[in-house]
A and B are shown apart, each in its own frame.
Chain A
């Protein structure tokens, strides 16, 4: 039984999208900037009005309150946002020290002032903030966008373990095809407002996808 199921999901110009992500599976999406990847994630997290349905383990998004859905289907935005002065105030339940360590952060990181953290530190802390809520689905918008190679590897490893241990479904937006190859079981391109699956086993489709892309989906505007 698939963990997350999108049925005819539409938001602004994106969609309709049908996609099932099984428990413990990671799906990567790439696409030109402006193609609507972030819009799609926002719609799945129910932050934007949308048509169609998102269903988690048989329970429709519409059947539960917004916050309950978002705790289960957690969006980690590309730009982490902070509202209090100290990092720790954003972790109401604290943070597992082992996780801090695995992302290369010291145990006292929760006592830091947000303003003094680097962009990379904030990105890792924002990811941990969400992981601490133990969501069933993670919607990741460029989760390693501001990270160096070492930190990227750490994040990929931690997310991989989280996915296996919690049987979590991951929807991972990445612009890096090598990262997609490393972390994902299935890969899609979002273009012309549709998801098209990529993969070596389906050469014909992949070729047509490449062709469509070269025709200038890169300057798709919205």
Chain B
């Protein structure tokens, strides 16, 4: 049903990357090398995950699926941290995003697998891993955006926040505007994606299923499910991460503690 791709097919597509790198060199964009390295990473990482998934599908066991999920969530937590210009010092830098993703993406995915899809066993990796991957990828974006906005605003508007504290406002009232804005920023991409889905963009999962021969309406139903899961995961994940982060900006005496952030090199 699926037309198999040969190495030659992929090599032809890779010519596009090389051509683009050539243009970059010609125009002095200075991103040619990064482009080629990224393309190489994509190839290697995806080939590896293909092998891992093949192994996983051949040996369905809860522990293997759980281990895979743990690796994915750890990688996502690292990615959230790497994207922060100002990150929390110590374990909070890694833990904040990771915990929030665990709370939201994990819960949402497990809920969907158990209640909505209802496969036996519920952790069937063909469903569990892609589902978690999609929810996780988007939640990661939302959390990274939200946290970045929160710490950026707190740093640049420090004087205002401290003036409010000096007037006797408590931390919650002081940070409320900033927190609201940060949560909004984290949630807007998925809201926009839902609004544009089908009209401007054909979501990747649905497209993939259609390419694989699934009837379009079935593929669309799955896509709607996934969209809602992603929205739920991103929304709740961002709320949790930004709320915890906002609390962490203040200490037990309700002082603004920007020394709990450090600015990354770039």
Contacts of A48 in B (CB 8 A): 255
Q: How many cross-chain pairs have Cβ atoms below 8 Å apart between A and B? A: 59
Closest A residue to B170 using CB positions:
A67
Known: A79-B159, A81-B159. A47 touches B167 (CB 8 A): no
Q: B109 to chain A: closest CB distance in Å?
A: 39
Contacts of B251 in A (CB 8 A): 49
Q: A72 to chain B: closest CB distance in Å?
A: 8
**Interface assignment of A129: CB less than 8 Å from any CB of chain B:** yes
- The CA-CA distance from A49 to B256 in the complex, in Å, is 10
- The CA-CA distance from A81 to B161 in the complex, in Å, is 9
Known: A66-B254, A83-B177. A47 touches B160 (CB 8 A): no
Which residues from 59 to 77 on chain A have a C-beta closer than 8 Å to any C-beta of chain B? Answer: 65-68, 70-71, 74-77
Contact present for A67 and B169 (CB under 8 Å):
yes
> How many of chain A's residues touch chain B, expressed as a range?
20 to 34
Contact present for A80 and B166 (CB under 8 Å):
no
- The CA-CA distance from A71 to B162 in the complex, in Å, is 13
Closest A residue to B177 using CB positions:
A83
Contacts of B253 in A (CB 8 A): 46, 49, 65-66
Contact present for B159 and A70 (CB under 8 Å):
no
Q: B230 to chain A: closest CB distance in Å?
A: 34
Which residues from 159 to 193 on chain B have a C-beta closer than 8 Å to any C-beta of chain A? Answer: 159-160, 162-170, 177
Top 3 A-B pairs ranked by shortest CB distance? A71-B168, A81-B163, A66-B254
Query: A residues within 8 Å of B by Cβ?
Result: 45-49, 65-68, 70-71, 74-77, 79-83, 129-130, 133
Q: Given contacts A48-B255, A65-B253, list 10 more A-B pairs with CB under 8 A.
A: A45-B166, A47-B165, A49-B251, A49-B253, A65-B254, A66-B165, A66-B254, A70-B167, A79-B159, A133-B168
